[in-house]
Structures are given as C-alpha cells and as structure tokens.
Amino acid sequence: MNSKKRPMPLIKTDETTFDKILAHHVNPEVFPLTEAVEEIKNRLYEIFALRLRGFTKPMIVKMWKRKDISESQAYIDIRNSEALYGNMAKVEKEGYRAMWLAWAEDFKLRCQQKGDRKNEAVALKLIAEYGGFQEDDAAEFNADKLANVEVVFALPKQYLKYLKHLPQNGKGGVDDLNLTGPIEDIDYEEIREELESDKKNS
C-alpha cells in the first residue's frame, strides 16, 4: 500500500496586485507581499500622503515621471490609492459609528433603569443619529409640502359672477366644481388698468 500522500492541487486565482495589497492591509500575517508588490503598496501610500498635503493629481504624475514611471501607470496608482485608502476610511468610519450606536443604546438602558426620562430622550436621539434613521427621514422629507404658499387666481369679472351663482347642492359634479359646502366670499383685488389696456390691444 502506497502511503505517500498526493500533493494538493494548486488553484490559480485571478488576484490583481490591488487585491493582494488590500488583503495584506486586512491581515498582513496571512497575506504577505512580495518585494515588487510591497514597492507598489508604498507608492499607493505615498500618493495618499501627498493628497492629504494638498498635492493635485497632475503634480503627482510629474513626480512619478521623475521616478521613471509612465503617466498611465501614475494615474493607475492614483486610482488604486483612492480606492484602497478611501475604502479603509469608510470601513473605519462605519466601525466608529457602530461603537457609538452601542454606547448610546447602553446609555439609554441605564437611563431607563434610573428613571431618567430627560437623558433617555437624549439617548434616543443619539440612537436615531448613529443608527442612520435621521438620514433616511431627511431623504424622504420634502419641506416644500409644508410651505404655506399663497394661491393667487386671475380671472375676468364675469366668471366670478358665474361662480357665485353655481348650484350649491353639495352633491359634487362638473357644474359645482366638486364643491361640498357653501361658496363664501373672499377678499379679492380688481385690477382695472390691466383690463383696460387689454381692451385697447384687442
């Protein structure tokens, strides 16, 4: 009987250099980098540091050219740097947000145990903020719907007389413009000058 174990088959993946660097940031011990990829990682970090100091993309491209790196590769590095450190900053922000949410929930529980209604309301507000509920409400809220907009109608005087004499039976329909109650007089302004000018132009 042959007790010699067969070698495990090698599975080739389509990992890009960016994938390797991203995995290395997540777990450096499990995903070590080769010397060549380590050099690329350092370039990405340098771009990130330069951008924080206010360097523009064209300025970085010029710096890369002085290092004998092509313009196309420079823009690839810039794109990968933004993707790498932008994603990391987003993950870090979400992590802190989750921690604040947990602290707010614990604060609310302690307030409830003490019967502190005032600070319990503060805790609920913090939970809404760090739980993202306020962002959802803000996206759906339309302030224009609550605006007290003044509605102005302009119509000839003879039409106003006609409206006042419409049947007020409250049954709705076309004749009474779907009215459900009596027609009341409202304040209005009669503009004579515009009417007279219209007659002259007609």
Average pLDDT, integer, range 145-171:
60
3-state helix, strand, coil in the chain (%, to 5): 60, 0, 40
pLDDT tens digit string along 65-95?
999 999 999 999 999 888 888 765 665 677 6
- Give the pair of three-digit tokens for residue 105: 């929930």
110 vs 94: which has the higher pLDDT: 110
pLDDT at 201 over 70: no
H helical segments located in 27-116? 35-52, 57-66, 71-114
As a whole number, the mean pLDDT across the chain is 73
Q: Whole-prediction pTM value?
A: 0.39
Q: Which two tokens stand for residue 99?
A: 């921690």
Which pLDDT score, from 0 to 100, does residue 2 have?
54
